[in-house]
Amino acid sequence: MRILIFAGLLMTLSPLTFAQTAPPARLAPAEAKNHAGEVATVCGKVVDTKVFKYGIGGRGKPVNFDLDQPEPNPVFYFVAFGKQPDGPDEAVAAYKGKQVCVTGKISAGPSGAYIMAADRSQVKEDAAAK
């Protein structure tokens, strides 16, 4: 009886196990504000950076990276942290002036739409832009 129950459970779950998930939608920075709460990939050129004055315990100082349009009217930004011990200078050097794609959950804030890229693997150079 246990074997039949296990076999039935396995057959029920197997489509879920082998189902392929679609990659996140690819968006332009200006489109991101319409997708708050969704996981997506936003691609654009890093045109401005801002290093915060204070750090976050264990992570260091966060850096805002504006894509396509700088302050005072940014359309989208992502937040990343520099690798220790070089900190924010390393993060700025890694992305400033480059075409990048950042993947994550889009949030809406007073300064516009953004993604918190706590893990730097969320940020990649945009291979399609080359």
> What is d(CA 30, CA 65) in angstroms, rounded to the nearest whole number?
14
DSSP 74: -
**For the segment 77-102, what is each residue's pLDDT rounded down to a tens digit?**
999 988 766 689 989 999 999 999 99
Output the domain CATH number for residue 125.
2.40.50.140
User: What integer pLDDT is reported at residue 85 of this predicted model?
Assistant: 65
The pLDDT of residue 32: 97
What's the domain count of the chain? 1
Please report whether residue 10 resides in a domain: no
pLDDT at 45: 97
pLDDT for 1 equals: 43
- Domain range enclosing 30: 21-129
> Is residue 13 included in any domain, yes or no?
no
pLDDT at 69: 95
Residue 36 placed within a domain? yes
Mean pLDDT by 10 residues, the chain (130 residues): 40 49 93 97 97 80 95 93 80 95 96 93 88
Return the closest-CA partner of residue 77 out of 94, 55, 102: 102
CA distances from residue 84 to 62, 81, 91, 104 in whole angstroms, order as listed? 12, 9, 10, 22
The answer to whether the predicted template modeling score (pTM) of the entire model surpasses 0.85 is no
